[in-house]
Structure 1
Amino acid sequence: MSTMGSGELGREIELSEIIEALSAEFDIEANTHGDSTVTIRLEEGGPAFTLYRTGSFQIRGTESREALFEAKEDLLDALQEIGVEFDEVPFRQNNAVYLADFGTEIQLETLAIHLGLENVEYEPEQFPGVIYRPPELGTVMLIFASGKSIISGTISREEAKKSESHLQAQILQIG
Structure 2
Amino acid sequence: MSYKIVNLVASTDLGLEIDLHQVAEKLRNSEYEPEQFPGAILKLTQPKATILVFKNGKIVIVGCKTKKDIESAIKLAYDQLKKVSTKIRKRMKKIPYQITNIVALADLKTDLNLFEIVEELEANVEYEPEQFPGTILKLDKPKVTVLVFKNGKLIIAGSKSEEEVKEAIKKVKKLLKPFIRK
Q: If the TM-score is normalised by the length of the shorter chain, which range does it land in? A: 0.7 to 0.9
Give the aligned CA root-mean-square deviation in angstroms: 2.4
Q: Equivalent of 2:59, from 53, 57, 60?
A: 57
Q: How does 1:44-123 map to 2 (within 5 A)?
A: 46-80=48-82, 82-84=83-85, 85-87=87-89, 91-114=97-120, 116-123=121-128
Between structures 1 and 2, the one with greater helix share:
1
Normalising by the residue count of structure 2, what TM-score does the alignment of the two structures yield?
A: 0.78
CA deviation vs aligned residue, 1:21-75 (integer Å, no higher than 9, x gap)? 222xxxx2x3433264221113277110011222222110111233222321221
Which stretches in structure 2 are left out of the alignment for 5+ residues? none
CA distance in 1, matches of 2:16, 2:72: 22
Partners of 1:148 and 1:163 lie apart in 2 by: 14
Number of positions where the alignment pairs a residue of Structure 1 with one of Structure 2: 168
Pair 76,166 (structure 1): closer, same or farther in 2 beyond 3 Å: same
Matched, 1:125 2:130: yes
Q: Which runs of no fewer than 5 residues in structure 1 stay unpaired?
A: none
Question: How many Å apart are 1:136 and its aligned residue?
Answer: 4.7
2:159 is aligned with 1:157: no
Q: 1:152 to 1:99 in 2, by over 3 A?
A: same
Separation (CA, whole Å) in 1 of partners of 2:47 and 2:133: 28
Q: What is the aligned partner in structure 2 of residue 32 from structure 1?
A: 32
Q: Which of 128-137 and 46-55 deviates more?
A: 128-137
Alignment-derived partner of residue 13 in structure 1 = 18
* TM-score relative to the length of structure 1: 0.81
| CA-CA distance at 1:166 after TM superposition | 3.0
Q: 3-state SS of the aligned residue for 1:164?
A: helix
Q: Which stretch of structure 1 is more off in the superposition, 83-92 or 146-155?
A: 83-92
Residues 1:140 and 2:145 are matched in the alignment: yes
Aligned residue identity for 1:78: Q
